[in-house]
Amino acid sequence: MEDKEKEFAQIVREHKRRIYTVCYMFSKDADEVADLFQEILINMWKGFPAFRGESTVSTWIWRVSLNTCINTSKKRRRLDTIPLNVNINPYEDVDEDALQIRQLYERINRLGLVDRSIILMWLENLSYEEIGAILGISVKNVSVKLVRIREKLKQMSNPK
């Protein structure tokens, strides 16, 4: 059992950034991100004994991370909570590049959960094959979805 724990800890160390990237795509609240990260680790640990290596560890982590965040987002929506929004970020960049990046992420956050997941993986430079393997869809379907997602993003106006 100790070897499995060491192996799991090593996998988490190697893929920590990827897990946090997914968490931050689904929430900007630091406490919520930490909760999502912990939930992903719990789900990875529960599923680790059943991981047979039919896909890469990276693909498995993407799948667990996205599924956990999507399911948590769905549960959160059902709870009808009202988040506290202070709208103050002392570290916020005000240059043109930072503004464009923030606007892009605001638009991405308005996409549906699956579309948000696809664009996130694309922005992380995953190949269409990897995205398809993670989501269980064909490469052609990934391509079509990305074209539609990019079109949606272009047509969105920024929230006021």
Q: What mean pLDDT, rounded, does the chain reach?
A: 84
CATH number 3.40.1350.10 given to 1-85: no
What residues does each domain of the chain span?
Answer: 1-85, 87-160
User: What is the Cα–Cα distance from 61 to 106, expressed in whole angstroms?
Assistant: 25
pLDDT, tens only, 25-42: 888 788 999 999 999 999
DSSP code at position 159: P
Q: Looking at residues 125-141, what average pLDDT do you find? A: 92
CATH topology of domain 87-160: Arc Repressor Mutant, subunit A (1.10.10)
Q: Tokens 């979805």 identify what position?
A: 145
pLDDT, tens only, 81-107: 555 555 555 445 556 777 777 788 888
User: What is the Cα–Cα distance from 46 to 21, expressed in whole angstroms?
Assistant: 21
